[in-house]
Amino acid sequence: MSDFINGSAGGSGGGCGKEGGCGCGSQSNSGSDIASAADFLETGQPQTRRGFMKAAAALAMTTLAPGITLFAVGGGSAEARPLDEAASSKVRWGMLIDASKCDDGCTKCVSACSTENGWKDNGRPDTDAQWIRAVTLKNRKTGATQTLPMMCQHCEKPPCVDVCPTGASFKRADGIVLVNKHTCIGCRYCMMACPYGARSFIHEPLEDQKDYAPRGKGTVESCTLCVHRIDEGRLPACVETCNAEAGGALMFGDLNDPNSEISKRIATYASIELRSGLQLNTGVRYQNI
């Protein structure tokens, strides 16, 4: 029944090739499609978008991001969200990935993430950190291949949060799923629970981490959607790089804002969430898989 099999993984880690480790194909059972046909059977307005129109569009300000709320001041000058203001649940950050724009073998988003956040290949693909990886899917019938990036899908109902015994795995108000490394005990239960194999564990003592992206031995980590960038009104590193240097396959925006480009595109064209049968309402969606 499965048209797609998990072929090979690109990127620095290449960890997708390991048996049962990456979760994107071989982890559960061989018959489970990464992109379930159920996605296309959902008719009409997807449930996940229903609440979008309810979002207060009548605000006197234009919310671009928590960090870059635009206030209509005088001639349209802009102000960042005050530093002392908490992330708001009025926003839900999401990403739309147009797989048709991903070039075969392109790993620019992977290297951008690695450079930005300071994780790297230690030559141990089974255990190396991998916040994002390039996955190649191969259609068993036709042999056609397709590359797409895989990372934390920032679920609305994240299984990693459900299972965490200390509450270290959590979802921020604006929908970003994170690990609070101050309370993470490194049990790796969340890694087992994640349907996308998106999390990794740090085995080595580290030095000279990025000052904006703390990471250390004994904790679990995954894509943070570049939360440090979002908080200062910038785009995630992968999105920025893909748009500047590659095919522009990644789109980032506020899923709660019906006027955002990402919401409009999702409302106009068919898109899917991976392993949609789990009904996690992921913040990362895919097109043209």
Partner 1 sequence: MTSMRIVKFILSIWIMVIGVSLPGQLLAAESSLLPSIAKGKGDKCVLPTEYMRRNHMDLLDHQRDETVLDGVRTKQFSLKGCVSCHAVKGGDGKAVTVKDPKHFCASCHNYAAVRVDCFDCHASRPGEKDQFGGLKSKPAGHDVAALKSYLHSGSQTSLRGRDK
Stretch that binds partner 1, among 41-49, 133-141, 223-231, 273-281 (CB under 8 A): 223-231
Stretch that binds partner 1, among 12-20, 144-152, 176-184, 267-275 (CB under 8 A): 176-184
Among 154, 199, 229, 285, binds partner 1 (CB under 8 A): 229
Residue with tokens 């679920």: 155
d(CA 52, CA 270): 17
Among 13, 23, 66, 159, binds partner 1 (CB under 8 A): 66
Among 37, 86, 144, 185, binds partner 1 (CB under 8 A): 86
Cβ neighbours of residue 248 closer than 8 Å, sequence gap 6 or more: 101, 242
From residue 26, how far is each of 111, 112, 271 by CA, in Å?
25, 27, 23
In terms of DSSP bridges, do strands 177-179 and 200-201 run parallel, antiparallel, or are they unpaired? unpaired
d(CA 129, CA 221): 8
Does 186 bind partner 1 (CB under 8 A)? Our answer is no
Residue 202: other Cβ atoms inside 10 A: 19
Does 259 bind partner 1 (CB under 8 A)? Our answer is yes
Does 78 bind partner 1 (CB under 8 A)? Our answer is yes
The identity of residue 40, as a single letter, is F
Which residues are near partner 1 by CB under 8 A?
62, 64-68, 70, 78, 83-87, 115-116, 170, 172-174, 178, 180-182, 205-212, 214-219, 227, 229, 231-235, 237, 240, 243-244, 248, 251-254, 259-262
